[in-house]
Amino acid sequence: MSPPRKSQIVPEVPFDKDGVHCGFLRLFHSVHRSAYGFIPIPIAVFRNGTGPTVLLTGGNHGDEYEGQIALANLVRSLDHTRISGRVIILPMLNFPAAMAGTRTSPIDEGNLNRSFPGDPDGTVTQQIAWFVANELIPLADATVDLHSGGSSLMYIPSALARRQADPDRAALSLRLLKAFAAPVAYLTAGGQGTGHGGTLSGAAATHGVVSLGSELGGSGTLTPAALRIAERGLRNVLVELGILPPEDRVPAEASTRILEVRGAQDFVYAAESGVYEPLVELGDTVKAGQPAARIHTPETPWREPATAQFLGDGFVLCKRVPGRTMRGDCLFHLGTDTGL
C-alpha cells in the first residue's frame, strides 16, 4: 500500500495555540529568479479557549476584492480575547492570482475554485486546493469563501450556500445565510449542469462542513456598499456560530430575500459573438421567453442582431459586464423565490 499523500505546503503558524498568529503558508516554488524560494500565502489564526472553528477565505479568485479587503480589515481588528474558538483567515487564497488581479493564476492558469480537491504533487494552484481541502477544511465547523463577480460579471450583493440534504446542516446554512444579512441570498444545487464543480464549497460538503459563499459585486472593482456588506456579514456569521458574543452583531437595514439558483434553466448564454446589449438590469423581475440581450455585429451592420432570451421566470441576480462577447459567454443568471 502506498503511503498517504501529504501536502508539501509548510504553515508558519500554529493552529492549536491560543493567541493571534500571523504568517504565511510556504508553497515552495523553484524558479529562475529564486531557486529555493516559496510563494507566501498570508494566513492569520485567532484562537481563544474552546469553541467552533471557522475558516474565512478571500482571493480564491484574484480579481474579486471585497473579501480580500474585508478579511485584511478583520485580521487587524479582531480581538482574540472576545472570541470563543478559532478563526482561520486567508485573505489571498490563490496568492499568485490575487497579486496579479486575475481570476486564474499567472503561474499555471489554474482556476482555484475549479481545482478542488487538488493534488499535493500538482501545480501551484492544485497544491493550494489540496492543502485547503485536506489540512484546513477538516479543522473547520464552517467555512466562508468570499467571492464577487470578478472582471466579467456583476452581482446584486448576495450570500449563497449549497442545498443540504442533512436537516441539521440545512438549518445551519439557512441561519448563516440570514445572519450574513446581504440584501439577497440564494441556495444552489452545487453547480449541476453549469460547470461549477471543483469548488471549495464542494470540498467542504465532502467533509460534511457547512460552507457559506458570497457574490458581493464584481466588474473587477469594489464598492463601499459591498465592502460594508462583507464586513457586517463576517461579524454576524462569527456571532451566529457563537465565536463572537451576541452584542457584537451588526444590525441590518432589511431582512435577506432568500432565492434559489436551480441550474442551467436560470442561465442565459450568448448564442453568437459580437457586442452585447443588455435589455434588462440587475434586480429586474423577468418572465420566460422575455428577451434578455441583443448581440450586435456592427462589422456587418446590415445583419440583424441575435436575441438571447430568458428560459424561465426569475429575479436578475447577475449580469455580464464587458460589451464584447463570445458565443458561450454567460450574460445573465436568475434566482427564484423560495419563501424561506
* Under rule CB under 5 A, residue 147 binds Zn ion: yes
| 270: CB partners within 8 A, 6+ apart | 276, 293, 295, 308, 325, 326, 327, 328, 329, 331
Closest approach of Zn ion to the CB of residue 104, in Å: 11
Give CA–CA dist 330/252, Å, rounded: 32
Of 160 and 331, CB closest to Zn ion = 160
Please say which residue, 150 or 274, places its beta carbon nearer to Zn ion. 150
Nearer to Zn ion, 64 or 266 (CB): 64
What type of residue is 67?
G
Closest approach of Zn ion to the CB of residue 64, in Å: 5
C-beta closer to Zn ion: residue 147 or 320: 147
CA distance 161 to 204: 11
* Strand, coil or helix: 138: helix
Cα 8 from Cα 120, distance rounded (Å): 6
Query: Of the two residues 70 and 279, which places its CB atom closer to Zn ion in the complex?
Result: 70
Min dist CB 102 to Zn ion, Å, is: 12
Taking the least distance from each CB to Zn ion, the nearer of 61 and 235 is 61
- Binding window for Zn ion (CB under 5 A); candidates: 7-15, 32-40, 141-149, 242-250: 141-149
Nearest to 332 by CA among 298, 296, 285, 274: 285
Select from 71-79, 145-153, 238-246, 290-298 the region that touches Zn ion (CB under 5 A).
145-153
Task: Name which of residues 37 to 76 contact Zn ion (CB under 5 A).
Answer: 61, 64
Long-range contacts of 305-309 (CB under 8 A, 24+ apart): 305/274, 305/277, 306/271, 306/272, 306/274, 308/268, 308/269, 308/270, 308/271, 309/268
Longest dimension (CA), the chain: 71
Residue with cell 481545482: 115
Q: What share of the chain is helix, strand, coil (3-state, %, to 5)?
A: 25, 30, 45
Minimum CB distance to Zn ion, residue 221 (Å): 14
Task: Provide the 3-class DSSP secondary structure of residue 186.
Answer: strand
232/306 Cα distance (integer angstroms): 42
Question: Judged by CB under 5 A, how many residues of this single chain contact Zn ion?
Answer: 3
**Residue 47 or 147 with smaller CB distance to Zn ion:** 147
- Quote the least distance from Cβ 196 to Zn ion, whole Å: 10
CB of 48 to Zn ion, least distance (A): 31
Shortest separation between residue 66's beta carbon and Zn ion, angstroms: 11
CA dist., res. 192 & res. 261, Å (int): 10
Interaction site with Zn ion (CB under 5 A)? 61, 64, 147
